[in-house]
Amino acid sequence: MRKLNIANLDTPIKKLEKLSDELGKNIYMKRDDFTGVEVSGNKIRKLEYVIPYALDNGYDTIITTGACQSNHARATAAICAMMDLECHLILRGEVKEYEGNLFLDDMLGANVNIIPPSSSREDAMEELKQELETQGKRVLIIPVGASNAIGSYGYINCYQEIVKQEVEMGIHFDSINLAIGSGGTYAGLWYANEEADTKNKIIGYSVDETAEVFKEDIIKIVNDIEDANHNFDTISINDSYIGLGYGKATDEELAFYIDFAKREGIILDPVYTGKAFRGLVTEIKNGHYADQENILFIHTGGQQGYTKEMRDRIQAILRKSERA
């Protein structure tokens, strides 16, 4: 399958020395937030496969969707600008501030359409597709997160990259851990792991839906990659750290992100990696990784998710800690 080469790959894997000492485990982080600036995060790996499919099949217009601060939408806008594709974004939610990814979407030339939180993104995309097709455009709808069989090849490739890095580093990861927001990243890693028959544990931490919902989505994507007799019992999704919901954070969660940034010099995002990494650390402390020594977490990007409201709350937490 044809692939564009836009992301800065291979992304590095770094050991988190201080946290490793504290937890008595070797904790590593793969910095997929280093894939670029406009295209930072995990979404570009998927789009490197989805966009060539669009170009090779004569599409000139892309429609995709996400939340108002969607990393996927911003990465799609950037790569469409690079490839001279018309880009339309259906973003669901309430716009409180013109900032972050929403600002970048506009700057990158995307046509931004905001729909209410209760609206169907799929219905809105289909309606827009029909309208654009009456104008003579050839339109491809890319699902949320580029989470389909084509997009998942980005993380089949990432898994192979990790295996190569294991050899170079002289270690073996007992588990690969990541946030799950639409299922495509997990599906690619899980499928590649099954094909390699290395029996690593692929552990996902949900940021919005139940484990059952995501397992269904992942099974569908994997079956679209290859319709074979897979044993899906090894799919492992933890949905205990969703908290207040997608894109929302408690003060306790924000305090964890602050502490980690001060300790390791790495910024987690409040939508995906923050929730997932906090879940991983908590699970390790609770003894649920007792049989593992080398643990890898994939930082999938998303620092633009810190809205003004969250930044104000973080400032208040920092001021409170300074006074304590």
Give the residue numbers marked as catalytic. 70
Neighbours of 257 (CB within 10 A): 24
Whether residue 265 contacts residue 167, with contact meaning beta carbons closer than 8 Å, is answered with no
- The Cα 109–Cα 78 span in angstroms is 8
Q: Helix, strand or coil for residue 198? A: coil
Asked if 198 contacts 160 with a C-beta cutoff of 8 angstroms, the reply is no
DSSP element (H, E) containing 61: strand 61-67
* H-run or E-run covering 30: strand 26-31
d(CA 304, CA 38): 11
- The count of other CB atoms within 10 Å of the CB of residue 15 is 14
Structure tokens at 238: 């933890």
Place of tokens 């643990």: 295
Please check whether residue 154 is in contact with residue 162, taking contact to mean a CB–CB distance below 8 angstroms.
Answer: no
3-state secondary structure of 320: helix
